[in-house]
Chain A
Amino acid sequence: EVQVVESGGGLVQPGGSLRLSCAASGFTFGNYAMTWVRQAPGMGLEWVSGISGTGGSTYYADSVKGRFTISRDSSKNTLYLQMNSLRAEDTALYYCAKAGRSGWPYYFDCWGQGTLVTVSS
């Protein structure tokens, strides 16, 4: 079964850091691009960052560029999102999702259940 499971969310103070992880299973991880999408409470979906299947290309929304870093470890079948200089407006449920191919951009055919990040003092 194709599956992605997020972890690492929590409560962090403004200006703090957090690293999210996404464990993938049921597919050849390196053959597919991956992405992070977030959803603030009661709001719609906002794309955050993406990475190609090889990990050689990374992409960011303007709202997180310079603060967040996406990476992947094919030996562990895991996607990461390092989040620095966190702000209150970064508070959201963060979803990891698998793309339908290795290249970027594409649609997303498998989503995790999300991990909640709360930025508050």
Chain B
Amino acid sequence: EIVLTQSPGTLSLSPGERATLSCRASQSVSNNYLAWYRQKPGQAPRLLIYGASSRAIGIPDRFSGSGSGTGFTLTISGLEPEDSAVYYCQQYGSSPTITFGQGTRLEIK
């Protein structure tokens, strides 16, 4: 089973700044099958990025994903107060088990 480790655990930034969230895999993720989700308080997760770098429908270009192999990054530029949420990475390259990272909490102060 591929273990995903996200860092930092919590990130506190100001509006307009750039956030960089990391997701490291215990082994290489096949085909860069890595997705990112955002979960706002009291809401279901929402898909942001799939295939490590492709934006999901309706996701603004402030959100970008990069990386390959065992290291992946979600970058959010021009932070807005609504970006406060927990962000999860998920790998789907290792069948049949999929795994999620433990999450990074982003606070916009």
Contact = CB atoms under 8 A, between A and B. Distances in A.
Interface in A55-114: 59, 61, 95, 97, 100, 104-109, 111-114
Interface of B: 33, 35, 37, 39, 43-47, 50-51, 56-57, 86, 88, 90, 92-103
B98 A50 contact: yes
Given A105-B95, A105-B96, A107-B35, A44 B44 contact: no
Contacts, number: 64
Interface of A: 35, 37, 44-47, 50, 59, 61, 95, 97, 100, 104-109, 111-114
B3 to A, nearest CB: 13
Chain B residues touching A, majority SS:
loop
Contacts of B86: 44
A35 B95 CA distance: 14
Contacts of A112: 44
B9 to A, nearest CB: 11
Contacts of B35: 107-108
A74 B75 CA distance: 39
Nearest to A114: B44
A118 to B, nearest CB: 18
Given A104-B95, A107-B50, A108-B90, 7 more contacts: A37-B100, A44-B88, A44-B100, A47-B98, A47-B99, A109-B50, A113-B44
B92 A107 contact: yes
Contacts of B98: 35, 47, 50, 105
Contacts of A47: 97-100
Contacts of B45: 37, 45, 95, 97, 108, 111
A107 B102 CA distance: 17
Nearest to B90: A107
A26 B5 CA distance: 35
A95 B44 contact: yes
A70 to B, nearest CB: 12
